[in-house]
Amino acid sequence: MTVLGVGGSPIAVEAFVGRGLPSFTLTGLPGAAVTDARDRIRPAVEHAGLEWPLRRVVVNLAPGNLRKEGAGLDLPIAAAVLLATAQVPDHAAAGWAFAGELSLRGDVLSTPGILSIAIAAARAGLEGVVVPAANAVEASQIDGLRVVGARSLADVAGFLRGTWNPPASTTDHQIEPVGASEVDLAEIRGQAQARRALEVAAAGGHNLLMVGSPGAGKTMLARRLATILPALTREEALEASQLHSVAGLLAGRGLLQIRPFRAPHHTVSTAGLLGGGSSVLRPGEASLAHHGVLFLDEFTEFRRDAVEALRQPLEDGRIVLTRSVGSAVFPARFTLVAAANPCPCGYHGDPARECGCPEHRRSQYRHKLSGPLLDRIDLRLRVPRLTKMELMGSEAGEASASVRERVQAARERQRDRYVGIGVLCNGHLSGPAARREARLAGETEALLERAVDSMALTGRGFDRALKVARTIADLEGQERILAVHMAEALSYRSGLEEEEAVARAG
């Protein structure tokens, strides 16, 4: 079994042991890591107390047109040699898939992508998989698949000979993907508007931009967005876990139980953000955030090209990578949360500290916070740094669990409404669809008219406000968007557009 992109593909490994000078040939388009196996497998076999044939050994990997990558083929190659030399009974391996990296001592080492391999094995109708013991929990998440977690090559030989009984299959250890996060919305004091905005973002699947001074709590808030998103369904958990498994990040755990929260540093490369690699295509941060939250702190510091490349996943929910080694599709449907300072020094609009930035630098900075990607962020929010008085005067926040209930209800309302148009939530609506689905109450139209005139709303700003207002109405269980919903939607603002408007015209 090998992994290409996020999916596993079955590889047939055949070994031939015949007359000739002792040699070991590997055919069938092996990649660099697979070629390495030649030198690694022989010591592993010998350390396991097995015999390496001093004859001509040819191992073929089929299909020959598919480039094989990764050290996970060590174990199947070794098993094929054991079969070819009749050190284990013929047919013992029928119906089984093998994957795992070997050490020189014959240990089976933890290997990335085992979850994908198990899924592919189940899809191919195999009976079971032999995988590294460290990854056995991962593989055992798949129904109807027997899983043997091997610690060493000797275990595998024993299993094939029927002399070693693997520990009871852990299939019944499936963990339901409902779990408690280590953070909670209740820990945030004050910031009532920001907490509410998170709820709206979660309920409507809206991307969020937070603008605020250093220390305002943007990172704290972003981290808690993942905790109020609806609980992961099993399918979602499988998809997300597969990506983490391929990236080698699942580390002995079963499925992800809470929505992923990824916060790449702003120096991340385009490949790091979107995925890539020269021989093995690895998922990037955007895919690791699949079904979760991708948080870009210091948004203006990210490379512009990397950030703009996020448009594809934001629209399609997936990333298509095409490289010389082939192309791969990585799912990447995440909620984007971007955070930025209001100006280069960070203190514009802060009541306690003077902003030292000249107007033209602020204007340049605001320019960085615009562009095609920003147009896809429905919710913009100013997160002010709270004064001591404001902190003390505010009551403790509501817990994530109870907010999540409202979010879930709002999501269900949206799913029912959009069942015909293939959209899950308001955040995924196109502009025209948003205008079609808005259902404004009469009073709301009057309010909107006034707002468009005096707030210099652009067409896109208008659509964004509609979508957000729709979500607020859904949270309140209202069929129509009332004036209060629209007023709330219009109250979420980064403050930067207004500054820009003032600087340009006022």
Partner 1 sequence: MRDDARMGWPPGFADGPRGRLALLTLSCLRGITPRTLFKLAWGEGTAAASLRAIQRGQAGSASDRSWASEVDPDEVTDKLKRCSARFLANGDPEYPAELNDLLADPPGWLFVRGQRLRAGDLRVAVVGSRVCSSAGRDIAFDLGRRLAGAGVAVVSGAANGIDAASHRGALAAPGPTVAVLGSGIDVFYPPSKREMLARIEAAGTVVSEYPPGTAAEPRHFPARNRIIAALSAAMVVVEGAAKSGSRISVDHALDLGRDVFAIPGPVTSPLSETPLELIREGATMVRGADDLLADLGVAARIALEPPPDLPPDERRIFETLVEPALPDAVARRADLSTPQAITALLGLELRGLVRVLGGRYERRLASSAASAEAPE
Q: For partner 1, which stretch binds (CB under 8 A), given 14-22, 230-238, 396-404, 446-454? A: 446-454
Choose among 423, 22, 386, 413: nearest CA to 193: 386
Q: How far is the CB of 199 from partner 1 (least distance, A)?
A: 13
Q: For partner 1, which stretch binds (CB under 8 A), given 137-145, 189-197, 306-314, 320-328? A: 189-197
Q: For partner 1, which stretch binds (CB under 8 A), given 19-27, 73-81, 231-239, 483-491? A: 483-491
Which conformational region is residue 19 in: left (phi greater than 0), alpha (psi within -120 to 50 degrees), or beta?
beta
Which residues are bridge partners to 2 per DSSP? 9
Binding residue for partner 1 (CB under 8 A) from 177, 264, 313, 342?
Answer: 342
Binding of residue 305 to partner 1 (CB under 8 A): no
> Which residues in the 386-445 window bind partner 1 by CB under 8 A?
386, 390, 393-394
Binding of residue 355 to partner 1 (CB under 8 A): yes
Q: Per-residue string for binding with partner 1, 90-129, x by CB under 8 A?
A: ----------------------------------------
Q: For partner 1, which stretch binds (CB under 8 A), given 9-17, 178-186, 259-267, 493-501? A: 493-501
Binding of residue 450 to partner 1 (CB under 8 A): yes
SS3 267: coil
Binding of residue 30 to partner 1 (CB under 8 A): no
Which conformational region is residue 144 in: left (phi greater than 0), alpha (psi within -120 to 50 degrees), or beta?
left
Binding of residue 375 to partner 1 (CB under 8 A): no
Q: For partner 1, which stretch binds (CB under 8 A), given 93-101, 199-207, 376-384, 458-466? A: 376-384
Which conformational region is residue 455 in: left (phi greater than 0), alpha (psi within -120 to 50 degrees), or beta?
alpha
Q: How far is the CB of 410 from partner 1 (least distance, A)?
A: 16
β-strand pairing of 56-62 with 23-27: parallel
Q: How far is the CB of 358 from partner 1 (least distance, A)?
A: 5
Q: How far apart are CA 376 and CA 389, in angstroms?
A: 36
Binding residue for partner 1 (CB under 8 A) from 64, 358, 371, 477?
Answer: 358
Distance set, CA 497 to CA 43, 267, 294, 365, 379 (Å): 66, 27, 24, 12, 13
Which strands form 56-62's sheet, in the order they lie side by side?
12-18, 56-62, 23-27
H or E element that contains 82: helix 74-84
Q: How far apart are CA 66 and CA 29, in angstroms?
A: 7
Q: Hey, what amino acid is at 213?
A: S
Query: Would you tell me which residues interact with partner 1 (CB under 8 A)?
Result: 190, 192-193, 196, 212-213, 342, 348-351, 354-355, 358-360, 382-384, 386, 390, 393-394, 447, 450-451, 454-455, 483-484, 487-488, 490-491, 493, 495, 498, 505-506
